[in-house]
Amino acid sequence: MAVALQRSARRGLTPGGAYVPERNLGETERWASGALGGAFVLWGARRGGLGGALAILAGTALVGRGATGYCPVAARLGPNPGERHVARRLGWSTAAAVTRAVTVAKPPAEVYRFFRDFSNLPRFMRHVERIDVLDDTRSHWVVRAPLGRTVEWDAIVTEDRPDERIAWKSAEGADVRNTGAVEFLRAPGDRGTEVRATIAYEPPAGQAGRIVAKLWGEEPGKQAHDDLRRLKQFLETGEVPTPALRRADAESAAPDTA
């Protein structure tokens, strides 16, 4: 999956190296943009003045959108080529995917052991409410979603190489289908461990859900970056106050009324 995401960064280049935006609009959207843009240009030319000039500018942009098949807003909020590849490979309607990394000043064996005990993950993953470890390969996740919702799924470990790599996928019936892997690589210069996480999920409600997540700052890139920074802080300096950890502290500090 990481290779697919890296390859996508090289797409959209001509043989001479010039960047050509990849089409991200369907034929219906292109024709609608062209028709609406042409109407704006004609209306603006007839109206004249400042209002007419603004209409011509807007119409020209719509005509260009239809002619090229490329919309920068859709590119900003929609899936990139690597994510479309992931969705096709997994049979999903759409995919949000990301690879992020952080260097932790601890040896790979120690970081792996901490991560492999999935009950530790809510300590630094801010959106994770709870993880119930069911057996060596299965765990049940409860995760906060945008707009105050929660989603749940069972995760299945599909690969486990001690001190090196853990991979997983969601089980059938998951509220949010997802897959991913975390690698534990020895950092150059014996500086500790490079933790590299590759995560993909199918946004609820498809593309609309993806856009809501981005507008609410809940996209996977930001989540993965923030979670890895908290993992680094937790392992190097101590506790990080995630909601799950605060609840655990409050429960342990509560007086025993029995």
pLDDT tens sequence across 70-129: 666 555 556 667 777 888 888 888 888 889 999 999 999 999 999 999 999 999 998 899
% of the chain beyond a pLDDT of 90: 37
Q: Would you give the end-to-end CA distance of the chain in angstroms?
A: 52
User: Do the beta carbons of residue 20 and residue 94 sit within 8 Å?
Assistant: no
Q: Are residues 64 and 89 in the same domain?
A: no
Q: How many domains does the chain have?
A: 2
Regarding whether 149 and 57 lie in a shared domain, the answer is: no
Tell me, yes or no, whether 61 and 143 share the same domain. Answer: no
Burial 119-145, CB ≥16 within 10 A → b, else e: ebbbbbbbbbbebeeeeeeebebbbeb
Which residue among 12, 36, 69 closes a domain? 69
Spatial neighbors of 119 by CB under 8 A, at least 6 apart, are 131, 133
Residues 177 and 60 in one domain: no
Stretches in the chain below the pLDDT threshold 50: 2-19, 211-212, 215-216, 253, 258
Distance (Å, rounded) from C-alpha 227 to C-alpha 127? 9
Q: Is residue 114 part of a domain?
A: yes
Residues 65 and 90 in one domain: no
192 and 249 part of one domain: yes
Q: Do 59 and 86 lie in a common domain?
A: no
**Are residues 90 and 37 part of one domain?**
no
65 and 85 belong to one structural domain: no
Q: Whole-prediction pTM value?
A: 0.64
- Domain that includes residue 206, residue range: 81-253
